[in-house]
Structures are given as C-alpha cells and as structure tokens.
Structure 1
Amino acid sequence: MKIYWFIGVFLLTVGQSRAQTYSLQSLKDMLLQNNGQLIAQKYQIAASDALIVQEKLWSNPTLSISEVNLWKNGTAETLPYIFGKYGQQQQVAAALEQLIETAGKRKKRINLKSLEKKDALLDYEELLRELQFELDEAYWNYMAVSQKESLVDSIVNLYQNLENQYKRQSELNNIPKSDYLRIQAALINFEKDRVELYADKNNWLTKIKILTQNETIENLQLEKGEVQLNLSQKIPLDIEHQLLDQNIGYQKQINERDKAKQQLLIEKADRTPNITFQLSYDRGGNIMRDFVGAGISMDIPIWNRNKGNIKAAENMAKHAESQQHALISQLKGQLMDLQYQVALYEVTLLKSKNIASEERKTMIVNYQKHLQKKQITLLEFIDFIEAYQETETGIVDMTLAYQMAHAQLQYLTGQKF
C-alpha cells in the first residue's frame, strides 16, 4: 500500500513540474536569483567596500631598538639596575616613529577608492542589463524559430501527403515520374530546414537554461510572448534626457573622468612632503643616563616635486573629458537609429497585418485544389509554396528585429517602457 502511495506522490510531482510554465518575466526573476556571474560580481562590490575600510586606516608606527651592547669594556659606566641585579652596564636605545600624511592625501585616496567602488556597482548594473538583454534575445529568437518550425511542419505535412499521392500516380503511369521527383526533392529540402530549425531552437533553449541556471526548462514550458505593434508609442518623449541619466556606459565614463580628476588631486598633494614624528629613548648613550627626546623628519622637495606624475594625471583627466564628449555624440546617434528602426518596422508590420495569415493559408488550400484539377502546373504550385514560406518567414524575422530594436532601446536608456 505504501508503494502505491509513493508512486502516486511521485507521479503527481512529475505532473506538476511538467505543467509549470515560464513567462519572460519569470525567467528574468530566475536570472536575478541564480545567475553565477551576477553572484560573482557581488563579491567584487564587497571587496571594494573592504578596500575603502583599509584605506581609512593610518599607517602603522615603527618601533626600533638599537645600541644594545652584548658585552662591556673598561670604559663602561655604572648605571642603575634595570630589574633585579641586571643592567648596571647595559646600554639600549628605542625609537617610535609615526608617519603623518600631509595635504589630505589619505582622504583623497579614500575618495578614489569610493569611486572605484562605484565602478564595481556600475559593472554589476552593466552585467545585469547585458544578461537581461541576452535573455530577451534568446527568448524572442526561440519564439521566432518556433514559429518558423510550425510553418515548416505544416509545409512538410502538405508535401508528405502530395508525395504519397504522386507516388501512387507515378506507379500507375498517370503522371510523369519527374513530377514525383520534384515533390520528393522539395520535401527533402523542407525536412532539412526543419532539422536546422530544431537545432537552432534547442540552441536558444540551452542559452535560456544557462542564463537562468535552470536545467529543467522544457520546450513546451515557455509561455508564448505577444508582440504589440505599438511599441513606438511607448517611447518616452524625454528619452534623450533619460539616455544621459541612465545609460550605463555614459555613467561609467563620468566615473572614469572623476577618477582621473581625483588622481590628479592625489598627485598634486604628493608635492607636499609627509612628516615623520619620532619619540626616542636612550639609556647610557648620551650625557643623560635615561634620555627621552622627540623629533620630526621630512623630505626636502628640491629635486623632485612630482611634476611628471602631475602632468601625466592632467593629460589623463583631459583624455577622459574628451572621451565623455565623444560618447555623447555616439549614444545620441545610436538612439536616433534605434528609434527610426522601431518606427519603420512598425509601419511595415502593420501593413503586412492587413493580409491576415489565415487568408494566406486559405490560398494554399485553393492552390492545392487548383493543382489537383490541373488548373496550375506543379512548378507553379511549388513556386507559390516557396513564396508563401518566404513571406511568412520574412514577417517573423521582421517582427523579431522590431522586438529586438525595442529591447536595445531599453538597454541603451536603462528604462523599461
């Protein structure tokens, strides 16, 4: 009885897992939760935080012990014991040094590390957007290939029926054998197309599995996404303003400019020498038996005032500024191009929508009847089927290009619309 119960639970679980479907949004949720690249990038952010904490710390003080005599000679003076009966002729010196950085060098380095952390955050955001775009691309390509596969399946079924009919008629010598061979050749070509489409569809499905880190997704579990032919109307009017605010490449370039300026501030601060504060103790090595003194040391900036590094940092800052201006022109050009593509594809697809796919399928049935009644030749029928496939495939490809142009527009501006 227990065996039957376990079998029932197992079958129910399998049935539920097979019945589960995935929309594009649910796939994106899985990508965000499971993708290994995103998880690894989060460690980079944590590492940047740790480097900021490290940069806030002062340099460690230096302790040195010297002038320790291992024996005594005849000129040794008698000194008080250090402890017990030890130390009457023991000389020793100790010094403690602490580096004091001037001109706000430490604070400037902390600011630079903060900008480097921002780099890590922007890298994470960029990776997330790229992976989401790749998932969009894989999903819509999968849907497009599935549509093409369904189209070719229907044509293969049509030619298989015709092949059986023409084979019988050819064996009865009612039609030329060349007609049967033409049907057979056309069937083989479409079957080859079907195999290629099947492989292509599996490749896109594999990419979806890799991006979502979910190996259990099956072909029939992906929900079909609907492409609305009004995407151009959803584009915000202030999209050019959003472009500069949200584009991840532009934000990274601004951060590069800020890092270059911060590095220039650090190099200028390095012109000012640091100060080392000293506290020393000397036992038996001076005119005083137990001498405690203080002092400072610093470099004298006569020969090296860091001019070379300052000049290099100035040039890097100017380079980052010019790169920023060049990127603005490039992004605006890409924005205009994608907007034009979306509008152009939309107009063309709306025109093709006027001739419904069902009407084209009805024409196939009519052509098949005309072929049977010998009102058209076999070559005319084959040409029509090829033209029909080319038209339907062209519409699928154009719809895919339309959807991907819209997805690229969203990726470019960092917005969902």
Structure 2
Amino acid sequence: MAHKFIFALCTFLLSSLLYAQEATVKKTLTVTDLESLFLASNYELLIAKYEIERAEAEILQQRLFPNPTLAISELNLWSNRTHEQLAPLFGRYGRSQQFGVDLEQLIETAGKRKKRVHIAQLEKTDAQLDFEETLLNLRYDLRNTFHALQKVTAQEQQVAVLVDQFSQLSEQYERHANLQTINRADFFRIQSATISWKEELVSLQDEQLEHLDRLKRYTHLPDLRLQDLALSLRTEGQLTSLIPANLQELAYNNHLDLKRAQNNQSLAQSELKLEEANRVPDLNIGISYDRGGNIMRDFVGFGISMDLPLFNKNQGNIRAAKLRIQQEESARSGLRMALDNTLEKLVSQLRLYENALDGQPAELTENFSLILENYAKNLRAQQVTLMEFIDFSESYVDAQKAFLQLQEKYYQTFEELKYTIGKDL
C-alpha cells in the first residue's frame, strides 16, 4: 500500500514538473528573453570563445624556454689495430670505445621571450574583440529581426481583416450577381480585389515564416511559434530620451573598431620593440665531453657562440614596424572622424523619425477592423460605392504600411546607434 502511495506521489510530482516546464516554454517571449536564449546556445559565439582559448594557449607557449640540444658524435661501432686502450665503461666493455657528447642551450637576450609573451597577450585581446564583435553583430541582427517580425505581423493582421471582409463581400456579390440584382462587373471587381489581398496575405505570412525561422536558429528553439512571441506594437516612449549626454565619450571608449585600432597600435609598438631586440645576438652556451678523441682521454669543455651583427642588423624589419605604427595611428584618427559623423547622422535620423511618429496610434489592427466594418456597413447601405470602398481599403492599408515601416526604421536606427557605440543604452 505504501509503495502505491509513493508511486502515485512521484507521478503527481513529475506531472507537475512537466506542466511547469511546458508552461515556462509557452510563455510570451520578449526580445530580451530571446537574447538570453541566444547567448546560452548560439554556436557562433561558442566558436569565437574557442578562438580566445586558442590565444591563451599561444600565451602559454610563448612563456616556455627553448629546449636544450643534446648531440652524441664520434661514436665508433668498431675499432682497428691502432686504437689505444681506454678504461672500460662497464665490465670489460669499452676499452676501444670512443664518443663525444655535446649539450647546448640557447640563451635569448634583450628580453625577447617577454616581448613575445606581450605580443601574444595583445593577440588574445584581439580575439576577445572578435568575440565582442560577433556577439554585437548577432544581437543586432536578432533585434532587427524581431522588430521586422513585429511590423510584418501587424501588416498581416490588417490584411487578414481585409481578406475576411472582402471574402464575405465577394460571396454576397456573387449571390446578387447570379440573381442579376447587381452588375456582374461589380462582382468581378470585388473578386479581383479579394484575390489580390489573398496574395498579399500569403506574401506577408511567408515573410513571417522567414523571420521566425531566423529567430529559431538564433535561440535553438525549433518549436518556437508566433504565439510565443510578444509581437504587439506598443509605445516605448521617446528613444531619444535614452541617449546619454556623454554619447561621444561612450563611443570612443566602446566602439569596437576604435578598440581594435588601439590594440593594433599597441601590437605594432610591441612588434617594434621585439624587432629592435632581435638586433642583439642570442647566445648559445654549450658543454661537451669527449672520450678518447684528443690528448685527454676524458675531456670536458665549455663553449659559447653568437652571431656577429656585421651585415644584418634587422634594419628592414625595424623600418617596417615603425611604418606600421604610423599606419595604425592614421587609421585610428580616421575612425574617430568617421565615428563622429555616424553618431551625428544617427541621432538626427532618430529625432526625425520620432517627430514623424509623434501622435500616431500604436494599436492599429483593432482600429482598422472597426473602421473597415463600419465602412462595409455603409457599402451595404449603398451610402458609399464599391470603388470608394476598395479605394478606401487600399489607401488605409498603404498609409498604415508606411507608418509601420517608419516605426521599424525608428527602432532599427536606435539599434544601429547602440551598435555603433558598442553597448546598450
């Protein structure tokens, strides 16, 4: 009996857990929720993280000292009658065995190893900037995709209302045309308009699916549906009020191209120091042992070797490194100038779109459905003509389409401003 109770309790708890998980999955997702899912599972970000780990491995490699070199030479495999008698190596073996052993170690001068480590650290910083750029690009595209889906969904809802209304009118006009109570040309007009709006509806729904598929790939949610997304248009206040007073300073500190240019400049300076250090010859210190090869039967000697910088003083590489520093300085100055122009343009565009949208209604579909229904009633009451009804429908939808496109540009411009700065506002 106790076993049955425990089994029933476990079944209940498991069902409750599954229901809670299902409810969590089916909640209405905002663009912020999609970003969280995107950050947790996007494969392009994982690939960029591997690049950072690879750069860390390069730093570790550059910290290592060069290995010593061991050489065994003058080893005779047989002997002739002229050999001298030597002390045996072990037992009775080795009385005629001759060989030499050399051990050599490279000693780098002028701090070359530390300078290479510093260059590897700057290359890691470049990999981190690549990761930030990948994240920024993907997040920028995700947000714009979400805003585009909002616009297309609002348009699809409006056109769906039109298709429904025109389909009803088409059926009514067909019955009256068959009864010859109206001109059959009116039926053809309403039927042609119905077909045209149905084609427009299918096109919008296809665009919806494309945006939704993109969001699925970003979030790794294959079962994501339109119903799971918070796509209703709502007023978010004036976006220009979110622009900080120190916008230019923020951009200078966070703009990825400027950060990369600064890192490239530091890298060029570090490479110049390394090339200057390469003028100083490295040392090779060695110790050798020779058995039976000289006047001493067991000879131990020390030696040191180095290049003589008579012809090659690394002049070309030093000159190239200096030119790269000047090149990076010029590039950084040009980036700052271009960034100033871009910020000014985006802020002006944002204000322009904001003024154009000021006072416009946010909830479009519901108002349009009500207005269209009233206009259809006037058509049935013969207070407006069929052509006036069709012209009104097309004009209203075109106007709302223009408004939605303007609203999308408004949000996209704000996202582009944040993308240019390099951080959220």
TM-score over 0.5 for the pair:
yes
The SS at the match of 2:152 is: helix
Match of 2:186 in 1: 179
How far apart in 2 are the matches of 1:160 and 1:72?
110
Residues 272 and 15 of structure 1: CA distance in aligned 2, closer, same or farther (over 3 Å): closer
1:261 and 1:328 map into 2 onto residues whose CA distance is: 20
1:161 matches 2:168: yes
Please give the secondary structure, in 2, of the residue aligned with 1:60.
Answer: coil
Q: 2:305 matched to which residue of 1?
A: 297
Partners of 2:158 and 2:365 within 8 A in 1:
no
Provide runs of 4+ in structure 1 moved above 6 Å: 354-359
Select which of 90, 98, 123 maps to 1:91.
98
Instruction: Give the aligned length.
Output: 415
1:282 is matched with which residue? 290
In structure 1, runs of 5+ residues without a counterpart are none
1:128 equivalent in structure 2: 135
**Aligned match of 2:258 in 239, 250, 256?**
250
Provide Cα deviations, 1:105-154, integer angstroms capped at 9, x if missing partner.
Answer: 11111011001111111111111111111110111111111111101011
3-state SS in 2 of match to 1:352? coil
SS in 1 for 2:360: helix
Q: 2:419 aligns with which of 387, 408, 411?
A: 411
The aligned residue for residue 69 of structure 2 is 62
In the alignment, structure 1 residue 218 sits paired with structure 2 residue 235: no
What one-letter code is carried by the residue in structure 1 that aligns with 2:251?
L
| Alignment-derived partner of residue 230 in structure 1 | 238
Measured in 2, the distance between the counterparts of 1:227 and 1:120 equals 39
For 2:339, the aligned partner's letter is L
Flag the 1:113–1:15 CA change in 2: closer, same or farther, 3 A.
closer
Pairwise CA distance, 1:46: 1.2
Partners of 1:125 and 1:25 in 2: CA distance: 18
Equivalent pair of 2:153/2:231 in contact (CA under 8 Å):
no
> In the alignment, which residue of structure 2 is the partner of 1:393?
401
Identity of aligned residues (%): 36
Is the 1:229–1:349 Cα contact (8 Å) retained in structure 2?
no
Taking the aligned partners of 2:225 and 2:366, their CA distance within structure 1 comes to 29
- Which residue pairs with 1:196 in the alignment? 203
Instruction: Give the corresponding residue for 2:52.
Output: 45
Instruction: Select the residue among 79, 83, 98 that pairs with 1:76.
Output: 83
Task: Note the residue ranges of structure 2 that are not aligned, 5 or more in a row.
Answer: none
SS across alignment from 1:169: helix
Residue 239 (structure 1) aligned with residue 247 (structure 2): yes
Question: In structure 2, how many angstroms separate the alpha carbons of the residues matched to 1:213 and 1:358?
Answer: 33
Q: In the alignment, is residue 264 of structure 1 matched against residue 272 of structure 2?
A: yes
Out of 11, 24, 28, the residue aligned to residue 31 of structure 2 is 24
Does the CA contact (< 8 Å) of 1:229 and 1:346 recur in 2? no
Report if aligned partners of 2:283, 2:304 keep a CA contact under 8 Å in 1: yes
Cα offset for 1:313? 1.9
2: CA distance, partners of 1:236 / 1:105? 45
Please give the per-residue CA displacement for 1:185-222, whole angstroms capped at 9, x wherever unaligned: 11111100110111111111110110111112111011
Letter in structure 2 aligned against 1:131: L
Partner amino acid, structure 2, of 1:73: N
Partner of 2:349: 341
Inter-partner Cα distance in structure 2 for 1:368 and 1:230: 36
Go from structure 1 to structure 2 and tell me whether the alpha carbon gap of 1:328 and 1:190 turns closer, same or farther (over 3 Å shift): same
Q: Is the Cα–Cα contact under 8 Å of residues 163 and 194 in structure 2 kept in the other structure?
A: yes
CA RMSD across the alignment: 2.4
1:118 aligns with 2:125: yes
Q: State the shift of 1:415 in Å.
A: 2.5
2:105 partner SS: strand
More moved, 142-151 vs 298-307:
298-307
Relative to the length of structure 2, the TM-score reads 0.91
Q: How far apart in 1 are the matches of 2:236 and 2:361?
A: 12
**Aligned pair in 2 of structure 1 residues 357, 213: CA closer, same or farther (>3 Å)?**
closer
Offset, 1:327: 1.2
In the other structure, the counterpart of 2:392 is: 384
Distance 1:374 1:258, change over 3 A: same
